[in-house]
Structure 1
Amino acid sequence: MDGQGPIFTGQDLPPLRRPNISMEETETDLHKNNEINSTDSIVSKSKLSAEAKEFVPKGIYSPIPTNNKSVQNRLERSRSQQQAPQSNNIITAPQLPSDINNGSNFNDYFNELEHLREVIVLLTSNPGKFDEKVPALLDNLRTCLDDSQMMDAVVQCIVDQAIAEHNFGYSGARLFVILNAYSSQMRLCLMNYCDSIEFTAPHSDKARNYTLFLAELFSQLDWEEAFGEYLLKMLQVLLTFDGPDDIKCICQVLKLTGMSLEALKFDAVLSIVNRLQDRLPDLPTSCANLLKNVLELRAAQWGRNNMHQPSTIPITHSVQSDYPPESPFVQRWSDGGPVFYGPDGLELSAEENAFLTDVADEISHDDSDPDGLWDPDPEMDEEMRAAFKEFVAMGKK
């Protein structure tokens, strides 16, 4: 057809020629192929392994690993707690009394007890919620605060949780003190329940929790004698267990309540201290250091000097008979007042206290302008000082 070029078929095309390859390129390709083949051969025949042990020359010192452990094995305890199931860290609610279904009062106040349990669990994990949650709980329990059977259940819930959970000891004591202020049955119910509690050596952890709860209760109830006797009884029980943790618990209690317990039952505290001193050489380092601190604190009259001591704690005959009348330990019970310490941590002397008192009196009787500058800048003229006084006056409006 006109206007179209020639049509070629496959038979009309000329055959393709082979590419022109120089001798240098040919030799390079052959060299690369030989290198690849040689590398594969080495890898296939090699005995090296990526999992082989690290090579250490004989001339280099390789330390032998040692199993160094801290005194309290904090690392091992932390690892064991992390490997333990999470269910062990869940705070359980205190159990209601077993005879809850046998009395009509329990059925009437079941919702109140459930509210109490919820608050107890919350305060165990978050003590900072105390001021927020307790007022509502108190309002909810107002109708049953004079019911002895109900108060038995309330006391049992509080004490059992303090025994099971160490973190609830302080909050439990606070909760009891508040409820006791509005209930005439709480104190008697608690004393009856304390009389029924006993511990054996396999449950020494619960005994320690209960002891710390009693110590908090004793301190928050203004050193009431009945709970001081319960506390001393538990200290004697922990001494029979004679474990390092039990000794630590006794030391913690004595640091918190030792001064008051000694005023209440001096002979009993002296017996406990003597038994602790006998155990001192056999105790671990951390426990021994804590015990030494307690003994030093007692030797320093529990942090009080010969002129200052709370006058609310009565002096007992045992204290007077053990020390001469002119002893500072006896003299300090008759006077009261604060104890001041300097920046170095040492107690201020009588001369230093007198100086501070004189300075405080001078400041209190100072009739100068309270809005004036205490130490004005020399560069401030009268106009600037007047402007400052005006600024202070404007801030008070």
Structure 2
Amino acid sequence: LYDTRRAPGDLCISAPTGSGKTLAYVLPIVDILSKRVVTRLRALIILPTRDLVVQVKETFDAFVQGTDLKVGTATGQQSFAHEQQSLVGMTKDSYPGGSSRVDILIATPGRLMDHLKDTPNFSLEHLRFLVIDEADRLLNQSFQDWLNQVLQATRPGDPSQEPLEFKTNTYGVPEADAIAPSYLRSHYNLPKTDLDLTKAPAIQKLLFSATLTKDPAKIAGLHLTDPEYISVQVIGDDSTRPEYTTPAGLKEHMVVCNADQKPLMMIYLLHQVGITSGLCFTKSVESTQRLQLLIEAYEELNEGKKTRVAEYSSDLSVSQRKSLMKKFRAGEIDLMICSDLIGRGIDLDCVDTVISYDVPLFMDKYIHRVGRTARAGREGQAYTIVEKQEARHFKEILRDASHLSQVKTLRVEKEDLARYEENYK
């Protein structure tokens, strides 16, 4: 499991949303760890939200079938004592190097910090993989200095006089993967060998994002070893290649209107485009709730096919959000209105249309929004409703990212809106 002569190189991967980033780390982790003998916490995946943790857990569960690998989560959805029991058990004894009941842990930064501080025997010293998914967002979070705390926890503590707990084979020899390489010489008083040539701990860091940061200061804080940057982009020479890459099947549009016409324009798009599986992004939870009420009121007066809408926001409980996701995937909801809570990472392969009701202020937020559709080779549409006073700023954002040519302006005449005005008023 560990290359004791050379630390594995770290990877920084930037790829469009929906291109399979999750599988890019799930498959090699499961393949490599399936050879393990002793259960240790060897893979840690850090994600910014609980919803993403649930989604990635489902992916791991699908691929660990047929192995004896154990996958756990730490998000705060369950009691702290319950998580402690599932991760390390309830033994009161302290073991050098800790103990673990899981091989793979998927966690949010805050809950991970809680376990590092308050869970006996919880250890990251045996990690083989550290995955930071949605890396640009996580690296912008300084909650409890989580990154430095995690990196520090991956290093072995002071050598202990107590023997490590490990399994032996029939000849009494320690199993090859019972302990991390960093413990070998300090705990067994081994003579200096080529183990001492190891450049760094055996942990391999994997960073993933659709908009991976290029800030040297943030990257430096990760202490990467022989890093490689991998970017999945459209084919073209460097002069024409865009800074941000969107799925090939995505068609992008902007609709410019007066501020007082935005709700009417939203209704126009709903019925003109014929949305049956769409996401609409707003700038806040309050905007989400107001827009939902407005559309519901309009649809009550509409004599034609009614659009079924729902609010998806951080105001809802985890169980409520799960229920909404289930209904949306089943086709029981036509349009889900949300803040940027699910603008990142959540995999909804059924989405055919994305509408940005409020203009995103930054390009990376725009990319994560429109990336909810046209996933895994499918086709999709993205519309951004732009107030006239916002048009210049929005176009500058697109132009600076060499993306303006990919967003077509959709012109809507007054006559096109007239048929919807009566019920709207």
Query: TM-score surpassing 0.5?
Result: no
TM-score tier, shorter chain, comes to: under 0.3
Rg (Cα) greater in structure: 1
The structure with the greater share of residues assigned to helix is: 1
Normalized per residue, the structure richer in strand is 2
What's the TM-score once normalised by structure 2's chain length? 0.24
